[in-house]
Amino acid sequence: MSDLIAPHGKQEKLMPLLLEGSALEAEKKKAQGLKKITITTRETSDAIMLGIGAFTPLTGFMTKADWKGVCDKYTMADGTFWPIPITVSTDDEGVKSGDELSLVDEETGTIIATMKVTEKYTIDKEYECKAVFKATDKEHPGVQKVMEQGKYNLAGPIKVLSESYYPEQFKDIYQRPAESRQIFEKLGWKRVAALQLRNPMHRSHEFLAKIAVEVMDGVYIHQLVGKLKEGDIPADVRVKAIDVLVDNYFVKGTVVQGGYPMEMRYAGPREALLHAVFRQNYGCSHMIIGRDHAGVGDYYGPFDAQKIFDEIPKGALKCQNLNIDWTFWCYKCGGMASMKTCPHKKDDRLMLSGTVVRKTLSEGGKLPVEFSRPEVASVLTDYYQKLDKKVEIKLHGAATGDVKKS
């Protein structure tokens, strides 16, 4: 019996929906003859997360009762805790309950899954945005995607036929939950902290990971390899940057790097909960929650993602939050520190953030050694020098420290 934390849900076992062998071949053949609807890259990535068991115990896309329960009180119709709706949509008026469909990725044209439609329903998109993002303006990238969804949501179980290009393009780090669990068990880990990444690791990320290494059996550096917003650094570049950091500055056997195919929703506190849910499925007992976790712009307070773990029903999540205060380089301390360990003033501190990293390098600047290890800076500088198109990066309070700790 495994010593790792049990997967999410009453069954306490992984429930992957990805077909294999003869069942996969038969369903692929059947899928060719089904009515096809095109799904967005976000919906594709959600289907793959369902397929690999990362969204255990979900069996498909949510019903209206599930959708409303998740928006209102983090709970699906059957009582399962879940923080963000997992839905698929269409504008096709001809689709009806009882239909079997093939779901086709808009980007690759690949049939990702088949679906048995059990319900076709409309939602109040603005209501979802207020509940999930605490925002309704389209400047918020998550809001924009919800508002651009089709007229109808479709509910029903799915059978997943493909993981798209992820296993091949990210073969060195792409992992299913069953695979990460095998790695942790082989290492003898029981207490595992996940470090969520969508940016290359700067010195604050490194500091967070090393704090966790001190109190855990190991740290799972788990980065998103799905699509990000314009101006973010691509996954393959991030992988190189993390590799050189781990190889040169971490004790061998204390960290494992992995990748997962979900797209960011930038939902701040709610997304922190979702990150903890599927990290539990990956075998992580703890989720590192630092400053502005999964945030964007100034939509959320820097520590709202920590507070929300105290607001959900007790026992809803087995994966616990490992809260770490605002971290920075302190010139007087002569190294990395946090609000809890550094007695000095704001002028003595250099605030570190991925946004500042991107802005500095995109404008041809040089990262100071306090900000990033030279090996990491070299990888990122090389990437930006080869870019044909530069995207303007806007700084916000959570990136610069010009906000009050809330």
| Active-site residue set | 198-199
Residue with tokens 């920590």: 306
Coil/strand/helix, residue 222 = strand
Residue with tokens 């314009």: 230
Distance CA 191, CA 189 (A): 6
Determine if the peptide bond prior to 57 is cis (ω within 30°). yes
Distance (Å) of CA 63 to CA 3, 107, 156: 34, 26, 7
Helix (H) or strand (E) holding 398, with range, is helix 397-400
Token pair listed for 200: 């290359």
Cα 73 versus chain centre, distance: 21
Distance CA 396, CA 136 (A): 19
Coil/strand/helix, residue 255 = strand
Distance CA 178, CA 259 (A): 13
* Closest by CA position to 292, among listed 371, 370, 405: 405
Token pair listed for 222: 């788990």
Helix residue ranges, H only, 199-317: 203-215, 235-249, 269-281, 304-307
Coil/strand/helix, residue 209 = helix
Contact 256, 197 (CB under 8 A): no
Contact 131, 71 (CB under 8 A): yes
Nearby residues of 309 by Cβ (< 8 Å), 6 or more positions away: 272, 273, 276, 289, 317, 321
